[in-house]
Chain A
Amino acid sequence: DTAVSQTPKYLVTQMGNDKSIKCEQNLGHDTMYWYKQDSKKFLKIMFSYNNKELIINETVPNRFSPKSPDKAHLNLHINSLELGDSAVYFCASSQEQRARETQYFGPGTRLLVL
Chain B
Amino acid sequence: DQQVKQNSPSLSVQEGRISILNCDYTNSMFDYFLWYKKYPAEGPTFLISISSIKDKNEDGRFTVFLNKSAKHLSLHIVPSQPGDSAVYFCAASDTGTYKYIFGTGTRLKVLA
Residue of A nearest to B44 (CB): A105
Interface residues of A (CB under 8 A from B): 4, 9, 40-45, 48, 55-56, 58, 90, 92, 97-100, 102-108
Interface SS of chain A: loop
Most buried by A among B46, B49, B100: B100
* A99 touching B98 in the complex, CB below 8 Å, given contacts A40-B104, A41-B105, A42-B104: yes
Interface residues of B (CB under 8 A from A): 2, 32, 34, 36, 41-46, 49, 51, 89, 93-96, 98-100, 102, 104-105
A sample of 23 cross-chain residue pairs with beta-carbon separation below 8 angstroms, ordered by A number, consists of: A4-B43, A9-B41, A41-B105, A42-B104, A43-B89, A43-B102, A44-B102, A45-B100, A55-B98, A58-B99, A97-B98, A98-B98, A99-B93, A99-B94, A100-B49, A102-B34, A102-B49, A103-B46, A105-B36, A105-B44, A107-B41, A108-B41, A108-B43
A80 to B55, CA, bound (A): 47
Contact status B104-A41, CB under 8 Å: yes
Contact status B43-A99, CB under 8 Å: no
Contact status B46-A104, CB under 8 Å: yes
Q: Which 4 A-B pairs have the closest CB atoms?
A: A105-B43, A43-B102, A99-B95, A41-B104
Question: Please, which residues of chain A bring their CB within 8 A of the CB of B43?
Answer: 4, 90, 92, 105-108
Contact status A56-B98, CB under 8 Å: yes
Residue of A nearest to B43 (CB): A105
Question: Please, which residues of chain B bring their CB within 8 A of the CB of A90?
Answer: 43-44
